Amino acid sequence: MASKASYPTITADDHKRYMEYAIEQARLSPPEPTKFCVGAILIDADKNEILATGYSKELPEHTPTDPESTHAEQCCFIKVAQKHNLPEDRIGQVLPKNAVLYTTMEPCNKRLSGNRTCVERIFRLNGAIKLVYVGIKEPEKFIGENVGRK
């Protein structure tokens, strides 16, 4: 996981700049015809501090169905879990009171790989993420209508 010093300094509540930084993360994702390149930023909104970044397929997911299908939001969560030596679904215990997620595309509510969706991952944190800023609605290309934003 990158150190705090490697993250840019972004003015508090500069949603446009946070989303631009999430887009920068998305550009790191290897392009493929069967997936979108998505970026995400997890921040402590009270301290205006970036906690983790992620992009599609940044980290391996060790599942038999699709070992390299991690989504950007999931990568953020994995990094926090690794930093605190916790399972991913328990990071809500260590996230700050006002954790906010920026993602370039709405969190998925269906995955063709059968892996846990990003919406489910967010909800499993029991309200630890207070707000999710979404860049765009997911195009209907792969799974049809995504209702993750709801």
Q: Is the residue at 2 inside a domain?
A: no
DSSP 33-76: TTS---EEEEEETTTTEEEEEEETTSS----SS-TT---HHHHH
Q: Is the residue at 142 inside a domain?
A: no
| pTM of this prediction exceeds 0.75 | yes
Domain of residue 89, residue span: 13-29+36-136
What residues are labeled active site? 73
Percent share of the chain, pLDDT over 70? 81
CATH number of domain containing 105? 3.40.140.10
As to burial, measured by CB atoms within 10 angstroms (0-12 exposed, 13-18 middle, 19+ buried), residue 81 is middle
Report whether pLDDT(65) > 70.
Answer: no
State the pLDDT at residue 30.
Answer: 87
Total tally of structural domains belonging to the chain:
1
Q: Is the residue at 143 inside a domain?
A: no
Reported as a single tens digit per residue, the pLDDT across 84-142 is 999 998 999 999 999 999 999 999 887 766 678 889 999 999 899 999 999 988 666 65
Report whether pLDDT(143) > 70.
Answer: no
Q: Is the residue at 150 inside a domain?
A: no
Q: Is 100 helix (H, G, I), strand (E, B) or coil?
A: strand
